[in-house]
Amino acid sequence: MRSIALVLTACVLMVGCGYIAEHTTPGKHAATVRTGLASRADELFWSTFHAGAYDQIPSALEALTGAYLADPTDAVTAAHIGWLHIWRLSERRRLASVPATITDDAVLARRYFQEAVALNQSEPRYLGFLASSTLAEAAIHHDERLTRRGYFMLLDAIKAWPEFNLFTAGYVMSAQPAESKNFERALAWQWLDVDVCVGEKVDHKNPDFTRFMRLATTEGRKRACWNSWIAPHNFEGFFMNMGDMLVKAGDWQSARRLYENAKLSPSYSQWPYRVLLEQRIRDAPDNVAAFRGNTGANSSAEQQIMINSPFACAACHQQ
């Protein structure tokens, strides 16, 4: 009996020592000065992203990964790598043939955003994208525990920056089945985001944004509600997506009114996807089935709800 006790004690001590060793290891400290290599990689990231140059993602990834390996304490570099992986995964419909290995981008995005969050815990955008990529990875592996982790991270991200992460949370869940509680929650988050952005409850049946355009800003947390250098057509893309979600929910009449808000943007005439928006307004009744995935092979890439489209990221970020 004594020998068994000694063995058990040894096992407990070994587990305890491993746990203690891991959890007392000093964490990484974020870089306070960025390298020239990182700055040049950032320039390539933004020029690629703003051009919507999906086919140039490998070159941008090579530059950013090289910069990260040279300095793995740079949160911005880590986040930009994560964003490129999300972009490649999100707009996979651009590809003539989608490889099974595209799913690796979800895993890599999650890993790099995990590093970005660890290095800069005060940046709610990183947390929102970490939650999104965690949910994407969980869906691939049918991992319920990971799904719950991602969901509660989304809630934390919303609390930290509602104007930004209510959209992020609703967008990532907009691919859920139209009749599901998750999709219902995603649409509710979009309506709440609109309310938070303008400071009052917007009429769901007549969501005319005309009188709110005076609130546009590029400063503070409300900047997430409008266009910016980072997202030159954020406003237009937001209303395209939310209109798509309303169509998917079956309320194509309200969706048409919501789509019209995109035209209020001063930069609407320069938006690369304005023709697609006009088509969505025209075809809203027919798109209910298309956005629900009920048209099979007859549904074109452009007849997909925005998150499943070839412009899932570019609709907001392409110049």
| pLDDT tens column, 148-181 | 999 999 999 999 999 999 999 999 999 999 999 9
Percent of the chain with pLDDT over 70: 90
Which domain-ending residue is among 160, 188, 221? Answer: 160
Q: Indicate whether 167 and 294 sit together in one domain.
A: yes
Task: Report how far residue 312's alpha carbon sits from residue 225's, in angstroms, rounded to the nearest whole number.
Answer: 18
Q: Indicate whether 78 and 150 sit together in one domain.
A: yes
Q: Which residues contact 268 (CB under 8 A, 6 or more apart)?
A: 236, 262, 274
Contact 112, 157 (CB under 8 A): no
Number of separate domains in the chain: 2
Residue 212: C-alpha distances to residues 1, 47, 181, 236, 295 (Å) = 77, 31, 30, 14, 37
Q: Inform me whether the pLDDT recorded for 199 exceeds 90.
A: yes
CATH of the domain at 63: 1.25.40.10
Which domain-ending residue is among 112, 129, 160? Answer: 160
Closest to 306 measured CA to CA, from 254, 244, 247: 244
Task: Report how far residue 61's alpha carbon sits from residue 85's, in angstroms, rounded to the nearest whole number.
Answer: 8
Q: Give the pLDDT score at 247.
A: 98
Q: Indicate whether 140 and 203 sit together in one domain.
A: no
Contact 178, 292 (CB under 8 A): yes
Examine residue 82 and state whether it is found in any structural domain, yes or no: yes
| pLDDT tens column, 72-131 | 999 999 999 999 999 999 999 999 999 999 999 999 999 999 999 999 999 999 999 999
Q: Inform me whether the pLDDT recorded for 301 exceeds 70.
A: no
pLDDT confidence of 4, banded at 50, 70, 90? low
Q: Indicate whether 197 and 314 sit together in one domain.
A: yes
Q: Indicate whether 172 and 282 sit together in one domain.
A: yes
Q: Indicate whether 137 and 173 sit together in one domain.
A: no
Which residue in this structure is represented by tokens 């530059």?
63
Q: For 8-22, 103-117, 126-140, 206-220, which range has the lowest pLDDT when averaged over its residues? A: 8-22
Q: Inform me whether the pLDDT recorded for 1 exceeds 80.
A: no
| pLDDT tens column, 129-154 | 999 999 999 999 999 999 999 999 99
Examine residue 277 and state whether it is found in any structural domain, yes or no: yes
Q: Indicate whether 179 and 303 sit together in one domain.
A: yes
Closest to 230 measured CA to CA, from 166, 124, 129, 317: 317
Q: Indicate whether 242 and 261 sit together in one domain.
A: yes
Q: Give the pLDDT score at 297.
A: 47
Mean pLDDT rounded to a whole number for the chain: 92
10 Å CB burial of residue 50 (0-12, 13-18, 19+) is: middle
Phi and psi angles of residue 101, each rounded to the nearest 5 degrees, phi first: -70, -5
Q: Indicate whether 239 and 133 sit together in one domain.
A: no
Task: Report how far residue 148's alpha carbon sits from residue 60's, in angstroms, rounded to the nearest whole number.
Answer: 32
Q: Indicate whether 213 and 168 sit together in one domain.
A: yes
Task: Report how far residue 142's alpha carbon sits from residue 148's, in angstroms, rounded to the nearest whole number.
Answer: 11
| pLDDT tens column, 247-278 | 999 999 999 999 999 999 999 999 999 999 99
Which domain-ending residue is among 125, 160, 195? Answer: 160
Q: Indicate whether 189 and 308 sit together in one domain.
A: yes
Examine residue 5 and state whether it is found in any structural domain, yes or no: no
Percent of the chain with pLDDT over 90: 85
Domain that holds residue 111: 34-160
Q: Indicate whether 226 and 123 sit together in one domain.
A: no
Count CB-CB contacts under 10 A for residue 73.
15
Q: Highest-confidence range of 15-29, 182-196, 287-301, by mean pLDDT?
A: 182-196
